[in-house]
Structure 1
Amino acid sequence: MKLSEAEEVLMNYLWEMKTAFMRDLLNAYPEPKPAPTTVATLLKRIIEKGFIGYKEYGNSREYHPLVSKEDYFSTHVNGLIKNFFNNSVAQFASFFTTQTSLSEKELETLRGIIDTEIQKKKK
């Protein structure tokens, strides 16, 4: 299941905070802040999708992520590779390196990451 853009923004705040009450999440937004009802609606939808849990303290709820940021984005990157790049990591890598404005330094860093992973797999 995928989150909408607005839901991802809210999840990013919660991933960063680890746990938060509604006021904490509202305070995380830059000005102009969304209405509390908007954030409440987003929370309700994200809870229904199974990404957020909460503990109740009287009338307050303390929210926490049920899915890690890494797991969420890993699932979606893998889906992107499957759906848009014929399940080919090579096609994805080719697109990523040619269609984005990566500098030579960024490409070198990327190569270093890949070389390190290759060495780990050889062990």
Structure 2
Amino acid sequence: MLASDSELKVLTYLWKCGSCKASHISKVFEEEIGWAPNTTYTIIRRAIKKGLITRSDPGFICTPNVKQEDLQASSINELRKNLFDNSPFQLVKSLISNNDFSDEEINELYSLIDKEKRSK
């Protein structure tokens, strides 16, 4: 399940801070992002409808219903399918060729590739 950018903001907050009241999220987002309280509640309700967040009462407590890693994996899979003809190689090639990596990061990438080769 993919999350919109706004839903992702709410989920990221919940992953970082843990379960909390919607009123608290609304107050924080009003101060930090400038969202009106109704905007935050609308986004939370959409995320609940999608199954990304669970609501519990009393108190309208919001809890992330998906792990960050799972959402990242499904988003990457969608990106791979839609933009890279479902090719993991083309996705990785694009990521590598369009970024400046430090020597340490390059060595870590080589290590990951070597580790993957040995596991097959």
Which TM bucket (shorter chain)? Answer: 0.7 to 0.9
Q: Conserved in 1, the CA contact under 8 Å of 2:26 and 2:41?
A: no
Q: How far apart are 1:47 and its partner, in Å? A: 0.7
Q: Helix, strand or coil: the match of 1:102?
A: coil
Q: Helix, strand or coil: the match of 1:54?
A: strand
Q: Which runs of 5+ in 2 are unaligned?
A: none
Counterpart of 2:56 in structure 1 is 55
- Residues of 2 paired with 1:73 and 1:32: CA distance? 23
Question: Partner letter of residue 22 of structure 1?
Answer: A
Question: Partner letter of residue 24 of structure 2?
Answer: D
Q: Compared with structure 1, are the counterparts of its residues 113 and 18 closer, same or farther at alpha carbon in structure 2 (3 Å cutoff)?
A: farther
Q: How far apart are 1:117 and its partner, in Å? A: 3.9
Identity %: 29
Q: Conserved in 2, the CA contact under 8 Å of 1:13 and 1:28?
A: no
Counterpart of 2:92 in structure 1 is 93
Counterpart of 1:23 in structure 2 is 23
> What do residues 5-62 of structure 1 show as CA deviations (whole Å, max 9, x unaligned)?
11111110012223111233235446354221111011011111111111101xx211
- Residues of 2 paired with 1:81 and 1:87: CA distance? 5
- Residues of 1 paired with 2:71 and 2:33: CA distance? 28
- Indicate the larger mover: 74-83 or 29-38: 29-38
TM-score by length of 1: 0.82
Q: Cα RMSD over matched residues?
A: 2.0
Q: Conserved in 1, the CA contact under 8 Å of 2:14 and 2:63?
A: yes
The ranges of structure 1 where at least 4 consecutive aligned residues each deviate by more than 6 angstroms after the TM superposition are none
Bigger relative contact order, structure 1 or 2 (CA pairs below 8 A, ≥6 apart) = 2
Q: Compared with structure 1, are the counterparts of its residues 106 and 27 closer, same or farther at alpha carbon in structure 2 (3 Å cutoff)?
A: farther
- Number of residues paired by the alignment? 119
Q: Compared with structure 1, are the counterparts of its residues 9 and 44 closer, same or farther at alpha carbon in structure 2 (3 Å cutoff)?
A: same
- Indicate the larger mover: 72-81 or 97-106: 97-106
Q: Conserved in 1, the CA contact under 8 Å of 2:80 and 2:86?
A: yes
TM-score by length of 2: 0.84
- Indicate the larger mover: 43-52 or 99-108: 99-108
Counterpart of 1:84 in structure 2 is 83
Q: Compared with structure 1, are the counterparts of its residues 93 and 22 closer, same or farther at alpha carbon in structure 2 (3 Å cutoff)?
A: same
